[in-house]
């Protein structure tokens, strides 16, 4: 009886976890920086809006940087670590990278496929995070050429709170009409030293339906989302990559991009 109860609870927890969006994070606190220098990038596969379950993942397949059109392989700089959420402590990866000079640094992480038991399928997310130094735009709007990619039409690091973000969903360079896109707010700020989400949320969501917001691209693969709150937001275009099967099971190859909105502060009197 006890074994059956434990199994039921595990399945129930998995079902709740699957109901919220999975997001491959590639997080650093500030996407718009005045100066370069060393930054830390944290890459848990989790549910950032709810401080949800941290999934157990294998080492990413690719991790690289694009700067002024040149690609630099960073896979050897990834190190294994862990990440703690309100639900559990799970394995993660992280890297320390030095930013040199002005301009955009496009970081790309292609995760290993993750088996989601509750959905009986694999999920592979290809994530972009763009970090700018000094306000000089160089690479943010360039298409990297990923199998699944969100190409930004708005600077991902220079968005006003209550502004909007637009992008084009592409599969092997071709727009994906009516792509389904999940959106989540990092509602529990990452503690970079503790490798954990904050215990308290930034905002109180009006209802559970706001944990993961679903939108759709138009016929050209283009979408726009109004951003109501300062902070970092993730956009995940689902099942848009060319690969549809892995180890004999369905594969959802998703494109993810992270953006940051900034509050407009009133001048002090």
Model confidence over 151-160: pLDDT tens digits? 999 999 999 9
Average pLDDT, the chain: 93
Cα 54 to the center of its chain, rounded Å: 13
Q: Give 241: exposed, middle or buried? Use CB within 10 Å, 0-12, 13-18, 19+.
A: buried
Residue 61 within a domain: yes
Contact predicate 26/97, CB 8 Å: no
Residue 269 within a domain: no
3-class state of residue 4 by DSSP: helix
Q: Give rounded-to-5 percent helix, strand, coil for the chain.
A: 10, 45, 45
127 has which bridge partners? 256
pLDDT at residue 18, as a whole number: 45
- Name the pLDDT band for 47 (thresholds 50, 70, 90): very high
Helix (H) or strand (E) holding 183: strand 180-185
d(CA 41, CA 38) in angstroms, rounded, equals 10
Question: What is the average per-residue pLDDT within 199-220?
Answer: 97
Number of domains in the chain: 1
Q: Is the pLDDT of residue 176 over 50?
A: yes
Residue 73 within a domain: yes
- Name the pLDDT band for 16 (thresholds 50, 70, 90): very low
The residue among 7 and 65 whose pLDDT is bigger is 65
d(CA 199, CA 187) in angstroms, rounded, equals 10
Q: Is the pLDDT of residue 71 over 90?
A: yes
Domain that holds residue 64: 2-262
d(CA 99, CA 39) in angstroms, rounded, equals 7
Residue 268 within a domain: no
Question: What is the average per-residue pLDDT within 35-47?
Answer: 97
Question: What is the average per-residue pLDDT within 173-179?
Answer: 99
Residue 267 within a domain: no
Residue 229 within a domain: yes
Q: Is the pLDDT of residue 236 over 90?
A: yes
Residue 50 within a domain: yes
Question: What is the average per-residue pLDDT within 84-113?
Answer: 98
């Amino acid at each position: 009886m006890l074994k059956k109860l434990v199994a039921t609870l595990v399945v129930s927890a998995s079902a709740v976890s699957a109901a919220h969006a999975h997001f491959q994070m590639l997080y650093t606190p500030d996407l718009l920086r005045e100066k370069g220098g060393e930054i830390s990038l944290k890459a848990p596969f989790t549910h950032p809006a709810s401080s949800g379950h941290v999934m157990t993942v294998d080492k990413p397949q690719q991790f690289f940087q694009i700067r002024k059109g040149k690609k630099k392989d960073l896979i050897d700089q990834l190190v294994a670590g862990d990440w703690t959420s309100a639900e559990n402590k799970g394995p993660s990866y992280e890297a320390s990278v030095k930013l040199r000079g002005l301009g955009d640094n496009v970081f790309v992480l292609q995760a290993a496929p993750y088996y989601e038991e509750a959905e009986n399928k694999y999920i592979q997310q290809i994530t972009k995070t763009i970090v700018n130094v000094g306000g000089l735009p160089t690479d943010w709007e360039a298409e990297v050429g990923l199998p699944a990619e969100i190409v930004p039409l708005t600077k991902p690091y220079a968005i006003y709170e209550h502004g909007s973000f637009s992008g084009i969903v592409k599969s092997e360079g071709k727009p994906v009409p009516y792509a389904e896109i999940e959106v989540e707010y990092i509602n529990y700020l990452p503690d970079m030293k503790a490798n954990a989400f904050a215990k308290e949320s930034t905002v109180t969501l009006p209802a559970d339906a706001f944990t993961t917001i679903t939108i759709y691209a138009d016929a050209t693969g283009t979408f726009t989302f109004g951003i109501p709150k300062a902070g970092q937001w993730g956009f995940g275009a689902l099942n848009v990559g060319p690969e549809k099967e892995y180890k004999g099971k369905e594969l959802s190859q998703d494109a993810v991009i992270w953006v940051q909105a900034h509050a407009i502060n009133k001048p002090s009197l």
